Each structure stands twice: as C-alpha cells, then as structure tokens.
Amino acid sequence: MNLRTPRLLLRDFRAEDQPAVHAYASDPDVTRYTEWGPDTLNDTAAFLVQAVRDAQVLPRTRFALAVIRRDDEVLIGSVELRVTNEVHRRGEMGYVLARPHWGHGLATEAAAAVLRLGLDTLGLHKITATCDPDNTASARVLAKIGMRREGRLHDHLHIGGRWRDRLFFAAIAGRAPRPGDGFEIV
C-alpha cells in the first residue's frame, strides 16, 4: 500500500529499510516514551520481518508504513494503524519519527493520512491512540489531526523501571475534523 501526502510517501516496509529504521529505533531519545526500544539490530530485523509478513495477510489488519520524504526519498519514520476489532470497527494508531525530523509537521501529516485511511477507506468507526503525558509534542499531533482526549490511563505501561500513565485519544467517524484530506492512495 502507498499513501501520498503533500510532502510524504507512506509505503509498506521492505527488508532493505533496516539501516534507516534501526537509526531511529535505536535512538533513546526517539524511544523515550514508547513501549518498545531502544532496539537492537535483532529487534529491528524482527519488526521488519513481521511488518512485511503482515502486509501480505488478507484481510489486512495491520498497516505498518514507512514514512518517506517525497523530495529526497529518505525514510524518516513509521506510522501504523491496526484494526483491533472488526465487529466493532475499532483501530489503534501510532507513529514515530527520527529526531532530525521533529517539529516540521511531518508526524501530523503522516498521522492525519493514516487516520483518514482508517475512517474513510477502511470504514472504521473509532480509532484510538495513546501518548505519554510528558510527550506534549505527540499530544499536540493527536489534537491537530482531530482526535479528542478521552482520558488518562494510570500506571498503564512499565517503561524504564517505572509505571507510566498514558493519555488516551480517539477519533470517531463522522465526528472528527478532516485535516488529512490531502492524501491519496496510489
């Protein structure tokens, strides 16, 4: 699957993406608020094997997509949408970008496109996302793409030897603003 936004190409991962993926997935600053990482080379390889495998499963329920800058074709991160319940048409999404690409609106652009993919193309009713309360940049991304904060999950993840809360965001079909309309499936 390929999605195009004004500045990005979101595409299925390939095995040859390992060096670029490992560069951000092994960065402690990038993974500070994630429930995974920093990754070893084996962790990155396992992620890519599973992402490539999941892209072949039909019906597809996991869309792990490489985030590529269109102007120079550099892989700068990933965005993911998982269909978590087909009966209730629910999904979860997340994203991560390499540190040099923070603060340029690229996470917002990628996340908005995947949100629209889930709500409009896949027909999901509700898509959720979580972020660490200290990750204010991620909370801003979720708000900008039209997700509403629904609550706080206390002691939800054990990260770095301590329990961490998560802020819980959701977008509901027909109620979410449409900031991601500038994408196309190619």
User: Please, which pLDDT band fits residue 18 given cuts at 50, 70 and 90?
Assistant: very high
* pLDDT (tens digit per residue) in 34-43: 999 999 999 9
Architecture of the domain defined by 2-185:
3-Layer(aba) Sandwich (3.40)
What pLDDT is stored for residue 158 in this prediction? 87
* pLDDT (tens digit per residue) in 135-182: 999 999 999 999 999 999 999 988 888 899 999 999 999 886 665 555
* Spatial strand order in the sheet of 126-131: 148-159, 162-172, 126-131, 90-97, 75-85, 62-69, 8-12, 2-4, 184-185
- Token pair for 3: 């999605």
* pLDDT (tens digit per residue) in 72-96: 999 999 999 999 999 999 999 999 9
Specify whether the CB–CB gap between 100 and 69 falls below 8 A: no
Q: What is the pTM assigned to this prediction?
A: 0.92
What pLDDT is stored for residue 6 in this prediction? 96
Amino acid at 150: E
